[in-house]
Structure 1
Amino acid sequence: GADLSNEDSSVTVIPMQGDEFICSECFLVKHRSQLAYTTADGQPVCQECAA
């Protein structure tokens, strides 16, 4: 790959929004429209993990 050691990069991190959740299977932050179901103990699972 290319040597990017002399390149500057910046990432802006924003807090999780009220319409987002953390999938209990893949641990990614997803929009609530991606919620497949909630487990018996209340843990959310996204559509990708539920497939």
Structure 2
Amino acid sequence: MVTATAGDLAPEAAVAALVHGGVAVREFGVRAVSLEDVFIGLTGEGFDVSG
């Protein structure tokens, strides 16, 4: 499994580039970033919602 940030690259273009480069793609998915992912990315730490 490989995880990457593609920025503005369309998923179809990413798969096409991989296949063109000789990579056998068996499965491909796009994951939306959660608000928590953004928070941790910006602050480097999680948060406790229990109080």
Which structure features the higher share of helix residues? Answer: 2
TM-score bracket for this pair, using the shorter chain length: under 0.3
TM-score, normalised via structure 2 length:
0.26
Which structure features the higher share of strand residues? Answer: 1
TM-score, normalised via structure 1 length:
0.26
Query: Which of structures 1 and 2 has the larger relative contact order (alpha carbons within 8 angstroms, sep 6+)?
Result: 1
